[in-house]
Amino acid sequence: MGSTSVVAEAAAKLAASFKGQVLQPADSGYEDARKVHNGLVDKRPALIARCHGVSDVVAALDLARKLGIEVAVRGGGHNVAGRATIDGGVMIDLSPMRAVGVDAKRKTARAQGGATWADLNPATQEHSLAVTGGVVSATGIGGLTLGGGIGWLMGKYGLALDNLRAIELVTADGKVLQVDKQSEPDLFWALRGGGGNFGIATNFEFDLHAVGPTVVGGPIVHPIEHASDTLRFFRDATQSLADEQILFAALTHAPDGSGTPVAAMVTCHCGPLAEAERAVQSIRQFGTPMVDGVGAVAYEQLNTALDASFPKGALSYWKSHFLTELSDGAIETMIDCFARCPTPMGQFLIEHLHGAVTRVGVSETAFPHRKEGYNFLILAQWTDHADTTACIEWARETAKLMQPFFAAGRYVNYLDDDETGDPVRAAYGLNYRRLQQIKAQYDPTNVFRMNQNIRPLA
């Protein structure tokens, strides 16, 4: 890192033409700006460049290059591994860049690189349109889309990245490229799954689809004593879902603060309402739920329903793996492990992937996880630093005990920062080598390495 006075001098020069704000550690606003979603991440950048447009992004990148210091790029700041920030480097903060424009006639939307789903969903829903997005609205469209994009609409419309038309990208050498299938086919392929490895996405253009404004969805909650039956029912129900319906399961805690452990399912059906009501009947009729929150709901509202369970600043540690299958053994092991959960904010989530997301070829985009099946997430979340060791140990121990049920693939967007082995190579499988080649072409010196890093092919 350059000395403090060199950085200060460079920051002053940058600020002269910068449209946004350049923050150093002593500046007011710095403490707030350096925070990301995960309260466990406590990094102190030498500079935070809060960009207001593409020229700010180019200038901030140029400054980092001249100073010879590392960069991190912040979209929504939700990455659990804290890849949006960096000790002693430049945080290129896109969070002031959140403008969204919808072309209802063409059914497309453009969103700046720092927008969140809370910015994009309401804008598209004004026209009863939507694109697959994250299930928690504060998540950035940037990191989520570049790494994949699992959400309520993926059975019908694929992942967020399957709906990309184009990206405006600032590359490692400061060029601004319009990237789409025709103009930069290799780069466009790599951006759809390769995360922040290839540049800074300042604008995304998505295809939109007719959705809502009312869909049928919500949670259905059973006593934890019925967890085994609930998860078996979930497994059976996921065998015959229509593309329009997504069903996830969770072992979690009642959101009323009582700490009561529960087994839950949560669903969304984006098809015609009568059809959707019929499709969710069997889920609603199973067992004797403590809470049946499934019903007609605004799509926009469903996408904020889980927000309160993931408050900003909570301490988080995640593990996630695809499962080979949701076997009885996997179910019983999960239930045993959940019984030892040391935090009332901890949960296991099982995401089921099917439909459109699985009809894209493994190598059609960089995102290779195209098989119907289950992704298992261990979501340790707590608020008291005194609980950190117990919560992290629980997550690690669970991952160890669940290991026999794990498939090889990993979803990059859920990786934490202490993974062993080579999780990024494992995450991309057969696509990793092509990604390395494209990385060598567009970022040979690995400027963009504060991410789930793809090493440029030597």
Contact 218, 305 (CB under 8 A): yes
Q: Which residues bind ligand FAD (CB under 6 A)?
A: 36-37, 73-80, 83-84, 94, 113, 134-136, 139-140, 142-144, 146-151, 195-196, 200-201, 310, 413-414, 450-451
Contact 143, 413 (CB under 8 A): yes
Nearer to ligand FAD, 335 or 369 (CB): 369
Can you read off the two tokens belonging to residue 356? Answer: 């459109």
- In whole angstroms, the minimum distance from the beta carbon of 133 to ligand FAD comes to 8
Can you read off the two tokens belonging to residue 205? Answer: 């253009």
- In whole angstroms, the minimum distance from the beta carbon of 283 to ligand FAD comes to 20
- In whole angstroms, the minimum distance from the beta carbon of 72 to ligand FAD comes to 6
Can you read off the two tokens belonging to residue 229? Answer: 């039956």
In 144-187, the DSSP E strands lie at 164-170, 176-180
Nearer to ligand FAD, 326 or 345 (CB): 345
Nearer to ligand FAD, 172 or 200 (CB): 200
Nearer to ligand FAD, 203 or 398 (CB): 203
- In whole angstroms, the minimum distance from the beta carbon of 383 to ligand FAD comes to 15
Nearer to ligand FAD, 151 or 218 (CB): 151
In 10 A of CB 16, how many CB atoms? 7
- In whole angstroms, the minimum distance from the beta carbon of 143 to ligand FAD comes to 2
Rounded Cα gap, residues 65 and 174, in angstroms = 10
Q: Is the dihedral of CA 438, 179, 113, 218 positive or negative?
A: negative
- The residue with tokens 């789409």 is 180
Nearer to ligand FAD, 83 or 354 (CB): 83
- In whole angstroms, the minimum distance from the beta carbon of 36 to ligand FAD comes to 6
- In whole angstroms, the minimum distance from the beta carbon of 153 to ligand FAD comes to 11
| Residues facing residue 374 across a β-bridge | 352
Rounded Cα gap, residues 401 and 416, in angstroms = 18
- In whole angstroms, the minimum distance from the beta carbon of 176 to ligand FAD comes to 13
Nearer to ligand FAD, 335 or 395 (CB): 395
- In whole angstroms, the minimum distance from the beta carbon of 309 to ligand FAD comes to 8
Nearer to ligand FAD, 76 or 271 (CB): 76
- The residue with tokens 């290991």 is 403
Nearer to ligand FAD, 98 or 286 (CB): 98
CA–centroid distance for 291 within its chain:
28
| Residues facing residue 189 across a β-bridge | none
Rounded Cα gap, residues 365 and 429, in angstroms = 12
Rounded Cα gap, residues 108 and 274, in angstroms = 27
- Kindly give, in sequence order, each residue whose CB lies less than 8 Å from that of residue 12, ignoring residues fewer than 6 positions away: none
Please, where are the H alpha helices in 72-219?
117-125, 141-147, 154-157, 185-191
Contact 187, 169 (CB under 8 A): yes
